[in-house]
A = this chain, B = another copy of it.
Amino acid sequence: MSPTFDMALIQRGARLRRSPYFEATLRAGCRSYTVYNHMFLPTRYDDLQAEYEKLLTGVTVWDVSVERQVEITGPDAFEFTNLLTPRDLSRCAVGQGKYVLITAEDGGIVNDPVLLRLGENHFWLALADSDVLLWAKGVALNSGLDVELCEPDVSPMQVQGPKSKEVISRLFGDEVSGLRYYWFADTDLDGIPVVVTRTGWSGEVGYEIYLRDGSRGMELWDRVMEAGRDLGICPTGPSDIRRIEAGILNYGIDMTLENNPYEVGLGWQVDHDQEGDFIGREALARIAAEGPARLLAGVEIAGARLDLNMTRWPVHRDGSEIGFVTSAVYSPRLDGNIGYAMVPAAFGELGTRLGVATPDGERDATVVRKPFVDPGKQIPKS
């Protein structure tokens, strides 16, 4: 056996949880983990550019069990869930998913989950890194609505890349692999209960398999790997290079509770004219009318290849610090450094010249359109 990652570098005691696929990720030689929703998230088995190439040309498997679910059921589940998000869920059919924002009363972003509607009054929110179960329980308390809230035994894995369709077809048939973007199938793999969605965090063709029985994680993992063996399937971390190219945001850095949807280019999520009420309605109407004070701008950063930033990089203009880079990385196919900068709205205009304090020194930067690739393709609007 090859030496495995020393978990003592990142954990202390048994407080943080392990995924149903954890042993498989160790066995596959995962070289780094981070922590997300109080669980370990495998981030890297190879170098980032190698993993990016595999995603662009083949099929990759990501253990994203950290996308914990909040399950909402009960007679008022529809009304309650609709209250949590500015999107109008009356346009979400059973069997359909939506990329949604969860907003606070001031319009601040609590989370940006993928929502699945499993029944008229049955929803899952596949979470980014914040305790939405606590938020939802707090909201429910005096809401007068009859709902049940829990974290079910559900653990997603992403299967992403151009060859993912073939893998999903082999495992679940053409009806599942042919799902429309953001729709899902409630199915099983020889008795392993799963939900398969046509979603992902890559901008490539991709699916997520939501395992509904944590005790069968290793079995599912092995079946997926076996189905893609001749296609060169391999485990990787989520690709920051590819998701930045696609204009996809990472909750916790590109947007936080301090930001509203308009600041980060997600104003299209707010359905002002819907019948149902939602938390943040008043604040978001005001921000929509006035325009946001800050913007998350796309930026190109000049100079030599930059590694993914590990801290916020200060952004300068005319000698003053006016904002910060949230995420930035070198894109091999664009042969340039791309990323996002949170700046006052006045400096978010295309073509604006900025300075960025990188670990290698000050660099010139320019505000550019995002997404950086596939200009016809927007960040998930379904």
Contacts and interface: CB of A to CB of B under 8 A. Distances in A.
Interface of A: 7-16, 18, 31-35, 38, 43-44, 104-105, 110, 129-143, 237, 240, 250-253, 257, 279, 308-312, 326-327
Contacts of A237: 12
B14 A326 contact: yes
A330 to B, nearest CB: 14
Given A14-B310, A35-B35, A38-B252, 14 more contacts: A9-B33, A10-B33, A10-B34, A13-B250, A14-B253, A14-B311, A16-B34, A110-B134, A130-B131, A131-B134, A135-B135, A138-B140, A139-B141, A139-B142
- Most B CB atoms within 10 A — which of A14, A129, A139, A326? A14
Which of the listed residues A31, A237, A308 has the most CB atoms from chain B within 10 Å of its own CB? A308
A130 B129 CA distance: 11
Contacts of A13: 240, 250, 253, 308-310, 327
Given A134-B132, A134-B138, A137-B138, A252 B311 contact: no
Q: Which residue among A8, A138, A143 has the maximum number of chain B CB atoms within 10 Å of its CB?
A: A138
A104 B141 CA distance: 9
B12 A105 contact: no
A250 B136 CA distance: 24
A137 B279 CA distance: 11
A108 B190 CA distance: 37
Interface pairs A-B: 10 shortest CB-CB? A138-B138, A35-B35, A142-B142, A131-B131, A134-B135, A15-B252, A138-B139, A15-B253, A12-B43, A10-B10
14 contacts: A9-B32, A11-B34, A12-B44, A13-B240, A13-B250, A13-B308, A14-B253, A15-B129, A16-B34, A34-B35, A105-B141, A138-B140, A138-B141, A139-B141
